[in-house]
Amino acid sequence: MPKKFIKRFVPDHATIREHKHLKIFGRLLQDPNLFHLNRRSVSGAFFFGLFMAFVPVPFQMLLAAGAAIVARVNLPISIGLVWLTNPVTMPPIFYFCYKVGTWILGVPAHRVHFALTWDWLTGELGAIWQPFLLGCFVAGLVSAVIGALTIRGLWRLHVIRHLQRRRQARAEGKPKV
């Protein structure tokens, strides 16, 4: 079930290899491990994809792709999970990260009035960058570990249930499930 479900949403290998932004990885995209769907590959992709989703930089997809290629985990899943932080979800997620950072550092939260101007970047961002980046790192690491462990556990549970059904069908004399 997990493989069939995941394969419905994963693009074709050739589509990924020919993608204009991923061509910078060249021959590294030829590794077949980048497209395997097994417990290790998918859980690793969840780890890197979720962690990179919390990295507050542009081009998170390239970072996720690079991490997936180096770790030899599923590339499409890793890239797709980065879109957890999209233009709609980014403000509440990054505000949560900032609050986590202030809580860890024990500093009071600075009232932030967002404005996309140079004055705001040099003034306001300069006051909040430490708790913000720490919160992003911690939230990314926690979500990555929880996501990877959850996928590994669900995958293992599915395999165990599948084996139990096969044993039961064999004991009852029914054809293979």
Q: Residue 146's pLDDT is what?
A: 97
Buried b (16+ CB within 10 A) or exposed e, 132-166: bebbbbbbbeebbeebbeebbeebeeeeeeeeeee
At position 64, the amino acid (one-letter code) is A
- What pTM does this model have? 0.79
User: What pLDDT score does 148 carry?
Assistant: 95
**Residue 3 reports pLDDT greater than 70:** no
Do 50 and 84 form a contact (C-beta atoms < 8 A)? Answer: yes
Residue 61 has pLDDT above 80, yes or no: yes
Q: Is the pLDDT of residue 114 over 70?
A: no
Long-range CB contacts (< 8 A, 24+ apart) of 156-161? 156/39, 158/1, 158/2, 159/39
Residue 140 pLDDT > 70: yes
Q: Judge whether residue 123 has pLDDT over 90.
A: no
Does residue 177 surpass a pLDDT of 60?
A: no
Split at pLDDT 50, 70, 90, the class of 1 is very low
Q: Which of 106, 15, 29, 27 is nearest to 74 (CA)?
A: 29
